[in-house]
Amino acid sequence: MTILGIETSCDETSAALICDGKLLSNVTVAQFFHSKYGGVVPELASRAHQKLIVPIVDEALIKAGIRKQQLDAVAAVYGPGLIGSILIGLSFGKSMALGLGIPFVGVNHMEAHVLSNLIEGPKPSFPFVNLTVSGGHTQLVLVDQPAGSLAGKPFEYRILGETMDDAAGEAFDKVAKMLGIGYPGGPEIDRLAQSGNPKYVDFPRPYLGEDSLEFSFSGLKTSVLYYLRRTGFDKSRTESKVIADIAASFQAAVVDVLIHKLLLAAKKFSVRDIAVAGGVAANSELRRTLEKASEDKGLRLFIPKFEYCTDNGAMIAMVGYMKMKQGMVSSLELTAEPNLQLTERVSP
Ligand code: KG4
Ligand code: ZN
């Protein structure tokens, strides 16, 4: 079974081909021009998707050595994300499926991130706890296989905790803006922090109580702001070494909190396999510290390759493939849902 997956929920245009569960190609263009505006401009993102969608899909097909007549289904993201951006990939995907007379599968962007560790091996076994850390979400999820495997969903999700305010990636982006470094801020803070002292400023770690699996990053972001004001920070005059030290100190606080909660969730739910997904999973300090911490605790850690951390068509194609195997085809009336949830949150 050969599936085309399309991802256009934010500022990456991406398409991928999967055949019988094996990834054949994944082509992504990140719209870097947003950096000059300090954040994603939704209307410009939609226009760029409109220009890129045909060449990106073509390139994904060519790289995979697949003709579109060989496709068995088209999968595209239908939420959450920016409505104008989602609509480009979704309308394109539905039209292509209609034109080729094959099924269309709508994919939830959050579900795709959660399952991005299943794109390529080694893969976690079930149940596992996944931490999705992206620009829009910070969510701890227990992922399990339903009792009867044809139960209507490829997997079962239970949200264990999520952010009450800013997402981890959003905090990286906002702090980067305060420090006068470009958008997206995460990769730039990551790069600067490599030469910084993480103990330079003791920023607060928002744990929200010993046992809590919820997150909150807006207080931490505000402490960075107050620190910068108090110390008379000025991008053009502050030494670059000091900027690196502040970036490293902020990053250390975020990483400490993310790791603490992920390990706590693994303990609470007695799982051996833990996973991280989403753009912030590309963070080198998070990866390094988590590798060490999981080894110490005897846990198996799964983090996708860099290109499957940030938004990508491969994760959409993979979920599309899993849904198709269970006969979960979508109606062509499926429309964009900017606030789509992974699942309803139930109290423990
Ligand atoms: O998953 P993603 O590509 O898009 C969303 O669905 O939001 O995540 C984008 C986020 C941005 O906030 C970006 O700053 C952050 O991921 N990010 C990073 C790194 N690379 C991307 N944050 C920290 N360190 C990185 N290396
Ligand atoms: Zn994402």
For the chain of 348 residues, list the mean pLDDT of each consecutive stretch of 10: 97 97 97 84 95 98 98 98 98 98 98 96 95 95 78 82 96 95 91 97 94 96 97 91 97 98 98 97 97 97 95 97 94 97 79
Other Cβ atoms closer than 10 A to 198: 19
Among 310, 311, 316, 339, which residue has the most ligand 1 atoms within 8 Å of its CB, making it the best to mutate?
310
Compute CA distances 5 → 47, 106, 201, 267, 316, whole Å.
20, 10, 44, 35, 5
pLDDT, tens digit (0-9, with 9 covering 90-100), for 118-141:
999 899 999 999 999 999 999 999
Q: Name the closest-CA residue to atom 8, ligand 1.
A: 279
d(CA 230, CA 302): 40
Average of per-residue pLDDT values in the chain: 95
- Asked whether 45 and 84 are in contact (CB, 8 A), the reply is yes
Q: What is the pTM of this model?
A: 0.94
- Which chain residues have CB less than 5 Å from ligand 2, an ion? 134, 311
Q: How far is the CA of 316 from the centre of ligand 2 (A)?
A: 11
The ligand 1 atom nearest the CA atom of 191: 26
d(CA 208, CA 204): 11
- Asked whether 227 and 203 are in contact (CB, 8 A), the reply is yes
Q: How far is the CA of 293 from the centre of ligand 2 (A)?
A: 25
Among 34, 115, 134, 138, which residue has the most ligand 1 atoms within 8 Å of its CB, making it the best to mutate?
134
Q: Name the closest-CA residue to atom 13, ligand 1.
A: 186
Token pair, residue 72, equals 């068995």
